[in-house]
Structure 1
Amino acid sequence: MTPRPYRLAALVALIALPLALTACATPAQRITTNLTELGVPPRQAQCMGGRLGERLSIGQLRRLQELTGLRRERFERMSIREIANRLTDERDPGLVAEFLRAGVGCLI
């Protein structure tokens, strides 16, 4: 029988491993996950994730990630147009432009 401290350490490792792996995800992987959660089809989300991961700033990546929380509250899928409308911000028109460019480029 394993002593209790080892069980606790094993439990902590099981909990920490997924968190550590998530932290190591590239921006493209996080974008792909977020877009899929927003309702973008997986193949298109993966294509867009790669393109946006190379082009967006850290602030823009955070703005895109914020939408994932909004979607969870709505419990419905969002179209590319709806996502772009939510991203629209006078202070950063480049975010919507890059998002739409990636969306159109991944449809072709």
Structure 2
Amino acid sequence: MIRISSLVALVAAIVLLPSCTSLSPESRLRSGLEEAGLPPKMAGCMAKRMADELSLTQLRRLQSLASLRKSHMEEMTIERLLHKVRALKDPEIFAVTSGAALRCAL
């Protein structure tokens, strides 16, 4: 019986370990916004607010905007970002993103 509980503890540790080492949704979002061309201060501010207000499913939908990489565009503006976010056709993602952009710009 002791061996089974030790095995269960080992399996649990192996399963839970990757979650400890992975990046938080906020840091992944901040990094993505920076890679898209937003200034680091603006990206950090927006990521904090967006990660707090959006579900993980919605944050994953934002990952589909990976085509916004800096190498493909001359300069990322908030207007251009919001245009792309609106194309996701999720009013909540758009409202949270535009609200975060407005609050962080002030």
Q: TM-score, normalised by structure 1?
A: 0.70
Which ranges of structure 1 fall in alignment gaps of 5 or more residues? 1-19
The answer on 1:85 being equivalent to 2:54 is no
Paired residue total = 88
Q: What's the secondary structure of 2:38's corresponding residue?
A: coil
Q: What's the secondary structure of 1:25's corresponding residue?
A: coil
Aligned residue in 2 for 1:30: 28
Change (3 A) 1:26 1:107: same
- State which of 99, 102, 105 in structure 1 corresponds to 2:100: 102
1:1-108 aligned at under 5 Å gives the runs 24-68=22-66, 70-72=67-69, 75-76=72-73, 77-89=75-87, 91-108=89-106
Contact 1:63 1:87 in 2 (8 A): no
Q: What's the secondary structure of 1:78's corresponding residue?
A: coil
Partners in 2 of 1:86 and 1:72 — Cα distance?
12
Greater Cα shift, 87-96 or 36-45: 87-96
Contact 1:27 1:53 in 2 (8 A): yes
Contact 2:37 2:69 in 1 (8 A): no
Change (3 A) 1:90 1:45: closer
Q: What's the secondary structure of 1:106's corresponding residue?
A: helix
Give the counterpart letter for 2:95 in structure 1: A
State the 1:89 CA deviation.
4.5
Partners in 2 of 1:43 and 1:63 — Cα distance?
23
State the 1:85 CA deviation.
1.0
